[in-house]
Amino acid sequence: MLVDALRRSAAPRSLSLMTFNLLAPCYFRHGGRLESEDKTAFLSRAQAAIQSIKREQCDFVCLQEYWFNLEYQRVFRHAFHPTHYLHTVKRPGDKQDGLAVFVDKRKFELHYVENVDLVEDAGDRVALLLHVATKWNPHVPLKDRSFLVVNSHLTFPHSQVYTSLRLNQIDRVLAVVRKYIAKQELYDVPVLLCGDFNDYNDPVYRLVTKHGFASMFARLHGREARITHCNHNNQQVSVDFIFGARLQEDNKVPESSRLQLKPTDCHLVPRRLSDVARLKRPQFGHDWRHVHSPALLTDEEELVDYWRLVSDHRPLVASFDMLDSSASNR
């Protein structure tokens, strides 16, 4: 018993982050109907998405295509408000969706939230920037227990014309991050940038990595996930990412007292479903009372059929050890 307790006390604290495009009901069309017109359908699917999110027990949940419908928002607030801070930002104009970030209030405190407007020269998109600090060591200077989290959703590349627009969007996001870091003198703090980038191995991806960010899935697996999304053209694509900058290198002892994040795992949800599994276009209109829990499913085809009822994206989760050179993380 004592040995187990000592092992637990010596183990570093952990952090986990999920990025997940929910597929907003206002965009979900099936059988000539929009899901947003069927209250039972969109609330049932929202509950299924919530259960999938909760099973992962993540400290940070970064959502895209979060629908700004009062009843839809209410079920998410009811599920997460007791344990998480909830921050949302709607896309401008008549767009009905936007972004949401949920932060575990038991482990972290929020010091700043910025809604990043990507309208000017960058379409009708938004991003969320959060300055977060660990909560268990308030005696430590804020800069030494801080990190940044950014959630974004870039425009779909309908054609080559959209290349410059997408570059403008990510350039704007990166500029806001740099500006905030300079203003607060947070030059060494870790930065986690995640979301639906709507493409892979394109100029946007290369620009992000050029600025010192690394994909967590690629870092831990030696390659990117093959399939995270079945898009409206029924193409199997990898578009959902968690990037990190200023992270702790493997097998290195932290050289400063500031908080450092060391990636330990990155996986798609459901975890038992391979990243090469081909997804199916989503459907609604079924009776959720007769849908088996994914925990009971073992066959890959059954898991794919279940997930098409939840979203056309798979959630991506990254985990980190939180390290510093002192004993304050114990």
Give the pLDDT of residue 293. 84
Q: What is the pLDDT of residue 248?
A: 80
Q: pLDDT value at position 325?
A: 60
Which structure tokens are listed for 157?
């590349």
Q: Is 2 within the bounds of a domain?
A: no
Sequence-distant (≥ 6) Cβ neighbours of residue 327 within 8 angstroms: none
Which tokens is 254 given?
């932290």
Query: Which SS3 state, helix, strand or coil, does residue 189 take?
Result: coil
- How many structural domains does the chain have? 1
The answer to whether 242 and 235 have CB atoms below 8 angstroms apart is no
Amino acid identity for residue 45 in this structure: R
For 104, residues 6+ apart whose C-beta sits below 8 A from its C-beta are 58, 59, 60, 83, 84
Instruction: Provide the residue range defining the domain that includes 316.
Output: 14-323
8 belongs to a structural domain: no
Q: Output the pLDDT for position 315.
A: 99
What pLDDT tens digit does each residue of the chain (330 aa) get? 555 544 545 578 999 999 999 999 999 999 889 999 999 999 999 999 999 999 999 999 999 999 999 999 999 999 999 999 999 999 998 999 999 999 999 999 999 999 999 876 556 899 999 999 999 999 999 999 999 999 999 998 877 778 888 999 999 999 999 999 999 999 999 999 999 998 877 899 999 999 999 999 999 999 999 999 999 889 999 999 999 999 987 556 556 679 999 999 999 999 999 999 999 999 998 888 888 888 888 899 999 999 999 999 999 999 999 997 654 444
Residue 29 lies in a domain: yes
Please give the distance of CA 298 from its chain centroid, rounded to a whole number. 26
Of 117, 114, 67, 122, nearest to 92 by C-alpha is 117
Q: What are phi and psi of 208, to 5 degrees?
A: -60, -50
How far is 291 from 92, CA to CA, in rounded Å? Answer: 36
Give CA angle at 223 (220, 224), nearest 5°: 95
Please say whether the beta carbons of 148 and 192 come within 8 A.
yes
* CB proximity list for 278: less than 8 A, separation 6 or greater: 227, 230, 236, 304
Least Cα distance to 73 among 117, 43, 37 occurs for 43
Q: Is residue 243 part of a domain?
A: yes
In a domain, 328, yes or no: no
Instruction: Fill in the amino acid letter for 310.
Output: V
Predicted local distance difference test score (pLDDT) of residue 123: 66
User: Residue 214 maps to which CATH number?
Assistant: 3.60.10.10
* Pick from 66, 79, 75, 76: nearest CA to 24: 66
Under a CB-based contact definition with an 8 Å cutoff, are residues 315 and 241 in contact?
Answer: no
